[in-house]
Amino acid sequence: MKKLSLSEWASVGEVIASVAVVISLLFVAYTIGRNTDAVQGSNENLLFETHAALANQLIADPTLAAILIKVRDGGEPLTDVEQVRWETYQLNLLDIWALAYMRYQADLLADRHWRAWDDYFAHRFSKQAERLTPQRWEELRYGFDQDFWTHVKAATGVKFD
């Protein structure tokens, strides 16, 4: 077996160092991917928890549930107090949609989760009791990012402007 010279040992060391760099870069890429998954999962949990808290208000407060039934039936008009409560409920629901949108735009929410949330909210705000009149859309518009508002308009088919 031939003894290696100092320059040959240096070449072997360079090859080993190059392999180590490649392995460490692969590990960093893997870690970043896992971190992205964790952040997206955390954001998904935040959306679920926020939405669940709002939904629990309907369960825990029979007067809010009664307002929902009144609105869905479309018969008896809401009192002033009921109207304020209903508009606040709608705004909170819209805020959750905006939160999902912003997180998705920042790549903090997985595509499949965003599509599910987006479909859910588009349905609620275009076909369910939560649908808003064009006048109400205009009233709320100032509090939201223009890109989100453009998305809402396309997703719901609501005519406002």
The residues, ordered by sequence, that sit 6+ positions from 148 with a Cβ below 8 Å of its Cβ are 98, 101, 102
Under a CB-based contact definition with an 8 Å cutoff, are residues 129 and 58 in contact?
no
Give the count of beta carbons closer than 10 Å to the beta carbon of residue 117. 22
Ramachandran angles phi, psi of 88, nearest 5°: -65, -40
Q: Quote the pLDDT of residue 151.
A: 92
Q: Which residue has the higher pLDDT, 5 or 63?
A: 63
The DSSP element (H or E) to which 77 belongs, if any, is none
Task: Give CA–CA dist 122/1, Å, rounded.
Answer: 74
Reported as a pLDDT band with limits 50, 70 and 90, residue 43 is: low
DSSP category for residue 109: S
- What's the whole-number average pLDDT of the chain? 83
- pLDDT tens column, 73-127: 887 899 999 999 998 988 889 999 999 998 899 888 889 989 999 999 999 988 8
Is the pLDDT at 2 greater than 80, yes or no? no
Give the count of beta carbons closer than 10 Å to the beta carbon of residue 103. 22
Give the count of beta carbons closer than 10 Å to the beta carbon of residue 115. 12
Ramachandran angles phi, psi of 132, nearest 5°: -110, 150
Reported as a pLDDT band with limits 50, 70 and 90, residue 38 is: low
What does the pLDDT average to over 14-35?
A: 77
Report CA-CA distances (Å) from 100 to 18, 23, 80: 42, 36, 30
